[in-house]
Copies of this chain bind each other. A is one copy, B any other.
Amino acid sequence: MDIRVDAARLRKDIEDLAGIGRDPRGGNSRPSFSRADLEARAWLMDRVAAAGLDCRQDGAGNIFGRLGGPGRVVVAGSHIDTVLNGGAFDGSVGVLAALECLRRIKEEKLALAKPLEVASFTDEEGNLVGDFLGSRAFVGGLKREDLEHGTTQLGPAFKDILAGTEFTVDGILAAGTERPEVEAYLELHIEQGPVLETEEMPVGLVDRIAGKRYRLGSFAGTASHAGATPFELRRDAFLGLAEFAVKGTQHTAVRYEDGLMTIGKVAVLPGSFSIVPGRADFSLDCRSASAATLEAMDRELLALAEDIAGARGLSFGSKLVDATEPVSIPDRMLGLLKEECRDLGYPNMTLASGAGHDAQILASVTDVGMIFIPSPDGISHSPRETINWDDLEKGANLLLRSLIRLAR
């Protein structure tokens, strides 16, 4: 069967969506439940309806477009929310490629055994109360207390943000009970890293999705005068953090094949030219596709921080603020994607996803598979995020063929 997506139509959809929520400071700012997101949701539901699909929205604001009757459904999707000043492709390509696939299947009047759905999950980016609000709600993985007392990345309380929408905490929690049985879930996404471009592969097949541990850590010492305090009498909190950053990164790189650690946020207090820092607060992002590695990294890095603090007369503390577990893509799904790639003649490679995705959450209720397309220069979460349109066409064709095979 030589069915293919309409690449020009898909591109127009992506460009139209990119026109919603443009930020004067650059890129797109479309956090879930913002005015821009509500506009994007209305636009998407229009496009779903225009494709002749049955449009449905659950209590968490996840949007679905169905082709076919009742039964265990094959789902493909991603998300249309963005980080602040994000790009036009992260998430969007997965939702709109899935929509294009269903449109083509409907146009070709293919008779399939199972229904298909395009899905757009709410707040994948975690601007509200942790990553993956929509897909977590979909699989029934949310707790009421996280929602009722949640403070968002954007500032206001989650309840206050909800108050401006048609959504409620009860509705979000009910999403898991409304959902259909899912036969399989496929997600096309930009890689957000440089591996496929470096390897010159138009398509990547994800074999594992890394889990993560987010911690907030703090070294505490004594603020003192930079001129009047000899080295041997200092308790410099920033030097504790600096040593931890260097040694922790080295430890992780040497000891674990696929572990990553990143210190992305740093605050040094009191923060003056002439004052030895009394406190150094930081974020610690640990990732691995192996649960055992993740567990060991977390334990060993905390022990390293304690050791460094002890040797420097500092104290160290941290708290876990978010966690997701690693997922292995089932052989059935990876095998199917590989076969379709081979039939299409697309060069490809398997790789782990270091970034988290809705597929990771869906993995608790169904078999999932993921297709990556390259991110030029590895850039994502940035106004400079882009794609090669040829790669997108290949990824979307692979998604189309794989969906047909799963629904047959």
Binding site for B on A (CB under 8 A): 191-195, 198, 210, 212, 214, 223-231, 233, 236, 238-239, 241-243, 245-246, 249, 252-253, 260, 262-268, 271-277, 280, 283, 285, 287, 353-356, 375, 378-382
Q: How many copies does the complex hold?
A: 2
Known A-B contacts A239-B245, A246-B246, A273-B285; the reply to A353 vs B264 at CB < 8 A is: no
Known A-B contacts A239-B245, A356-B227; the reply to A275 vs B268 at CB < 8 A is: no
A177 to chain B, nearest CB (A): 31
Residues of B within 8 A of A198 (CB): 233
A259 to chain B, nearest CB (A): 9
Q: In the bound complex, what is the Cα–Cα distance between A229 and B382 (angstroms)?
A: 15
A248 to chain B, nearest CB (A): 10
Q: In the bound complex, what is the Cα–Cα distance between A239 and B252 (angstroms)?
A: 14
A286 to chain B, nearest CB (A): 9
Q: In the bound complex, what is the Cα–Cα distance between A272 and B125 (angstroms)?
A: 12
Q: In the bound complex, what is the Cα–Cα distance between A198 and B228 (angstroms)?
A: 13
Q: In the bound complex, what is the Cα–Cα distance between A226 and B249 (angstroms)?
A: 12
Q: In the complex the two chains form, is A285's CB within 8 Å of B226's CB? A: yes
Known A-B contacts A226-B262, A228-B353, A242-B242; the reply to A283 vs B287 at CB < 8 A is: no
Q: In the complex the two chains form, is B249's CB within 8 Å of A246's CB? A: no
Q: In the complex the two chains form, is A227's CB within 8 Å of B264's CB? A: no
Q: In the bound complex, what is the Cα–Cα distance between A144 and B294 (angstroms)?
A: 60
- Kindly name the residue among A224, A276, A285 whose own CB sees the greatest number of chain B CB atoms within 10 A: A224
By Cβ-Cβ distance, the 10 closest A-B pairs, closest first, are: A193-B228, A227-B354, A226-B262, A242-B245, A227-B355, A242-B242, A192-B228, A266-B268, A192-B225, A228-B354
- In the complex, the chain B residue whose C-beta lies closest to that of A198 is B233
A-B contacts, 23 listed (Cβ < 8 Å): A193-B227, A193-B233, A214-B273, A224-B380, A225-B354, A225-B355, A225-B380, A226-B262, A226-B285, A226-B287, A227-B285, A227-B354, A227-B356, A228-B353, A231-B253, A241-B242, A242-B243, A262-B276, A264-B275, A264-B276, A266-B266, A266-B271, A266-B277
